[in-house]
Structure 1
Amino acid sequence: MTVFERGWLSSNNILFVGPTRSALIDSGYWTHSQQTLRLVQAALGEQTLDLLINTHLHSDHCGGNEQLQVRYPALRTLIPPGQADAVRSWDTVALTYVPTGQGCPRFSIDDVLNPGTTLLLGDRQWQVHAAPGHDPHSVILYEPQSRVLVSADALWENGFGVVFPELEGDDGFDGVASTLDLIESLAPHTIVPGHGPVFHDLAAALNVARSRLAAFRASPRKHAGHAAKVLLKFKLLELQEMSFESLESWGEMTCPLPPCQSNFGSPGFQG
């Protein structure tokens, strides 16, 4: 297993090279797709990439899918259940690319990752677990023998991803809590997050995450302001610069989420 630690515009990528096939978990953002492809090609050499897995379909985790599918025509792509129809019809609103103002080239899928099943990656069977919260359809993967967890955006060393269902008027905080409880019950020794370095101190990470969750539950507006900042920072990482007029237009037209929109231009957001 090889982890390509990327940054915040692109998710981390995890490459497995096994005796019968190779597999990649998550493909990063579309503007980094050539870099993703180069990393994979350098690691595989003449070997082909056989399987592509997305933990969830936010643009920073699947934006490189299309380039990988072009380079490896026999590549099979698996996604979590729940958005397969949206991918097949390429509904960019349901997939959140239009509402967040983020890009993702169209890609195809072959099957879904059903929670409760296992998947051969490398020479080990990995458990697939539902991980609602940050994204209602997200999954995490766990290998019990080595106690390695691919936690996606459900748990980072210093928190977790924006809880998008809350911004859409749905309950997401309970999902975060249940997923953190699940991760605690799995008791992984090594955690490979969607962003940031691999880490081992599960207890410390859970303490940080639960403290942050409690603060967001106590003040949903605080979470909405945090989300607005995250979306803006993501856009600035993509574009590098934009005028204030462009920022205002982008905020009005692309941020889906009335709670999030209300934070653009607020004193808390500007800070």
Structure 2
Amino acid sequence: MEPGDYAPVPGCADLYYLDTGMYGTVNYGSVYLLDAERPAVIDTGIGNNREYLFDALDDLGITPEYILPTHVHLDHAGGAGFLAERYPDATVMIHETGVEHLVDPARLVEGTKSAVGDQWQFYVEPEPIPEDRIEPLSGGETLDLGDRDLDAHYAPGHAPHQVVFHDRGDDVVFTADAAGIYIPQLDTVEQTTPPSQFDLHGCQDDADMIRDLEPRYLCFGHFGPREFDDELLAGYKRTLAEWVEAVRQKREELGDDEAVIEHFAAHAPQEHLDVWNERKAREEERMNTRGVLRYLDYMEKQGKTI
């Protein structure tokens, strides 16, 4: 697939995934188009390439009734306001702790700029969404799409405003970032630990929650769908723990957080440089390292160990 292309999710009825061209990396940003009786868009991309999403919906003849960002991080919800503006009868649903950020994105934008650094060049200022267009979720709800249901499961490890959706009919889980970033070229899942609210044990619990659902397919927010594999998610839990320990040890060795951040950026794995563009891969290392360092600070203040 190339940016702007969409394809059916194998073995699933009327479910498509779209490559939004995020960060200039093929298939990095995956948006899901569910052509149910009451159609839904799951995640919305950053919003800068929203024409790809609009064109795909037009081509498929889909008029969404639901806009479902899995969480408010702008690579998942940045396009929600543009989509809501184009489809004024659609209902936007987000976890209750994320509603304020869609209504007034100012703090979200400020935090994103701080977290992503030079990557902000790939973003666009999000459009605010009127509060009366948004229906809050807390987790545990079932959304009636007419010919199928979507169960919302709270998954706060990556961010406290994150939910994952389970389509029991096709037995598909839309993982948001709760199962990491899937790298199809490597057939592995990599960590995503951005500041400021990453929680190691919460992320591991979220992975276990998805494992317990035992779906047929995992629809990742990055790099598209993959058949469910319990060992893949078990491996992700180990990856998270090893990654946090690596950052902790490097902080102990260097004693300077900026030096730690630059160490991991300079030593970004070669496979990441090959899969993503080099600039994106190194910035991803910086962001993920900052997230772990803040988590370690939080744990220390709480008198807890990892």
Normalising by structure 1, we get a TM-score of 0.74
Change (3 A) 1:201 1:256: closer
Partner of 1:49: 64
Unaligned 5+ runs, structure 1: 238-246, 261-271
Are residue 16 (structure 1) and residue 43 (structure 2) matched? Answer: no
Asked if the contact 1:135/1:163 (under 8 Å) is kept, the reply is no
- How far, CA to CA, are the matches of 1:145 and 1:180 in structure 2? 21
Q: C-alpha displacement at 1:36, in angstroms?
A: 1.7
Q: C-alpha displacement at 1:25, in angstroms?
A: 0.6
**SS of the counterpart of 1:68?**
helix
Task: Pick the aligned partner of 1:88 from 96, 103, 112.
Answer: 103
- How far, CA to CA, are the matches of 1:219 and 1:4 in structure 2? 34
- How far, CA to CA, are the matches of 1:30 and 1:236 in structure 2? 21
- How far, CA to CA, are the matches of 2:85 and 2:198 in structure 1? 38
Are residue 106 (structure 1) and residue 132 (structure 2) matched? Answer: no
Are residue 4 (structure 1) and residue 18 (structure 2) matched? Answer: yes
- How far, CA to CA, are the matches of 1:151 and 1:68 in structure 2? 21
Partner of 1:196: 223
Partner of 2:4: none
The percent identity for this pair of structures is 24
Partner of 1:25: 42
How far does the alpha carbon of each residue in 1:31-89 deviate from its partner, in whole angstroms, 9 at most, with x for none? Answer: 21121211122112xx5322111001111112222322232222221112212123323
Change (3 A) 1:95 1:119: farther
Change (3 A) 1:171 1:259: closer
Are residue 62 (structure 1) and residue 92 (structure 2) matched? Answer: no
Q: C-alpha displacement at 1:93, in angstroms?
A: 4.2
- How far, CA to CA, are the matches of 2:146 and 2:265 in structure 1? 36
- How far, CA to CA, are the matches of 1:256 and 1:186 in structure 2? 31
Greater shift after overlay, 198-207 or 135-144? 198-207
Alignment of 1:227-266 (within 5 A): 236=279, 259=293
Q: RMSD value over aligned CA atoms?
A: 3.3
Alignment of 1:200-219 (within 5 A): 200-219=227-246
Alignment of 1:121-200 (within 5 A): 121=145, 123-155=147-179, 156-157=181-182, 158-164=188-194, 167-168=195-196, 172-200=199-227
Asked if the contact 1:11/1:26 (under 8 Å) is kept, the reply is no
- How far, CA to CA, are the matches of 2:175 and 2:158 in structure 1? 11
How far does the alpha carbon of each residue in 1:170-203 deviate from its partner, in whole angstroms, 9 at most, with x for none? Answer: 6600111100111111111111111113111422
- How far, CA to CA, are the matches of 2:224 and 2:233 in structure 1? 16
Unaligned 5+ runs, structure 2: 1-14, 183-187, 252-259, 270-275, 295-306
**SS of the counterpart of 1:30?**
coil
- How far, CA to CA, are the matches of 1:41 and 1:57 in structure 2? 25
- How far, CA to CA, are the matches of 1:81 and 1:112 in structure 2? 5
In the comparison of the two structures, how many residue pairs are matched?
A: 238
Q: C-alpha displacement at 1:161, in angstroms?
A: 4.8
Partner of 1:264: none
How far does the alpha carbon of each residue in 1:141-170 deviate from its partner, in whole angstroms, 9 at most, with x for none? Answer: 112343211111111442255223xx43x6
Asked if the contact 1:134/1:160 (under 8 Å) is kept, the reply is no
Normalising by structure 2, we get a TM-score of 0.67
